[in-house]
Amino acid sequence: MAEKTTVCIAGGGPAGAVLGLLLARSGVDVVVLEKHADFHRDFRGDTVHPATLQILDELGLVEKFHALPHQKVSTIGVVQQGKRIDIADFRRLKVRYPYMAFVPQWDFLDLITAEAKRYPGFRLLMNTEALGVVRDEDGRVAGLRVRGPEGERQIRSTLVVAADGRHSVIRRDAGFVPTLIGRSLDVIFFRISRRDTDPDEGICVRIGNGKIFGATDRRTYWQMSYETSTGGMEKVRVEGLDKFRADLCELVPFLADRAHEVFSLDQLSPLEARIDRLERWHEPGLLFIGDAAHAMSPVAGFGVNLAVQDAVATSNILTAELLRAQEGRIFDDDLLARVRRRRKRAVALSQGLQRATQKFGIDAALDGSGAPPAPKVFEKLGVAQWLMSRVIGLGFRPEHVRTQEKAPEGTVR
């Protein structure tokens, strides 16, 4: 006999985990599926923006978050011809948390799911992979086929939420095809050790001679990125690591004495920075959020924070109806369209900004046609820096938690 719940969420990343917590704290029965045994994956999005910190505050989790090993960064800069220009400074925003926090994503997800487990209606199934949707006799999505340690089975639910990322299995199984927005870009991630004598750069992008390296200070190491056109990893493989290390030393000279730490291609982790989105986010019984609905590039670190805001909007719109369905009423599938209507403009504007950054900044730098002019605007016009700080830090439509907590029995908050 199939297992039953009110909401079944495919994917235990930021979108799925936060939505699971929000629903459970309001009394909705929810199952979250995570296909891996833990959340430990390297080079996942780990930027937590001011808007997301505000959401954690509204959930009463911001102190626990700040107790995690983390780093605060207040500015984002670009270095060209040896000169740094800050394109964003979050200290200019009138917000409670005027910085981006860097925390390993596995720590963030452990915090969210540990909080969610306080509520009796929440279940997190690790090592359990979503295989595809289950439909009822009318064709409505009525659950998921899953594979876990005990084999394959079905989980029946009133609503399925696909939060299983840019390569969504549920999206493919249900026949949804995203539209590519612009041209793809390859980003290669790697690490190099950090020393106390290194410059205090926070987040910095270095541009020169047709190359772009990004450096993010992670306290004990530098998380590096090498932006390149599609097929960049193969180019590195053909040209060899000596050329790659020489390019690194040229643009980031203070790392020259450690470039030898990159000694194997296995240390390089490529990502296809594809920007796409679904035109329709739902069908009866099924909703897509996060990267499953709209994949982002790494530019400005929008991905995690848009995913969290999708989760908050979904909870705000659907919780009351899900509670009614949990009591035996028929779920109103028409409400699913409201989630897309609420979030589509913020997503489209964020992706548009990423496309513009790629076209007028990254592509111009990579083809060697000269230093992209955009950073100079931030040097001359303070309003441009303030606007970019706001867009990156808060997004185009920040969400706030509107649902009420149904505290577990015996709990004092």
* Residue ranges per structural domain of the chain: 3-181+274-394, 185-273
| Beta strand 141-148 pairing with 185-193 | unpaired
The arithmetic mean of pLDDT across residues 254-262, rounded, is 96
| Tens digit of each residue's pLDDT (9 = 90 or more) over 62-104 | 999 999 989 899 998 888 777 888 889 999 999 999 999 988 8
Over residues 121-148, the mean pLDDT reads 97
Task: Give phi and psi for 175, each to the nearest 5.
Answer: 85, 20
Q: What are phi and psi of 138, to 5 degrees?
A: -95, 0
3-state secondary structure of 187: strand
Fold of the domain built from segment(s) 3-181+274-394: FAD/NAD(P)-binding domain (3.50.50)
pLDDT band at 365 (very low <50, low <70, confident <90, very high): confident
* Total residue count of the chain as it appears in this document: 413
pLDDT value, residue 271: 84
Supply the DSSP string of 170-189, one letter for each residue. HHHHHT--PEE-S--EEEEE
Residue 29 · residue 7 · CB < 8 Å: yes
| pLDDT at residue 87, as a whole number | 86
| SS3 assignment, position 4 | strand
Rounded Cα gap, residues 56 and 51, in angstroms: 9
Reported as a pLDDT band with limits 50, 70 and 90, residue 289 is very high
**What six digits make up the tokens of 232?**
């960049």
Secondary structure of residue 197 in the 3-state scheme: coil
What's the whole-model pTM score? Answer: 0.91
Mean pLDDT to the nearest integer, 353-357: 86
Alpha carbon 278 to its chain's center: 17
Pair of tokens at residue 274: 């594809």
User: Mean pLDDT across the chain, nearest whole number?
Assistant: 91
Q: What pLDDT does residue 370 have? A: 53
User: Can you tell me the distance from the alpha carbon of 88 to that of 300, in angstroms, rounded to the nearest whole number?
Assistant: 10
Nearest-Å Rg of the Cα atoms of the chain is: 22
**Confidence label for 41 from pLDDT (cuts 50, 70 and 90):** low
Is 1's pLDDT higher than 70? no
pLDDT digits (tens, 9 = 90+) for 196-228: 999 887 788 888 878 889 998 888 899 999 988
Q: What percent of the chain has pLDDT over 90?
A: 69
pLDDT at position 410? 57
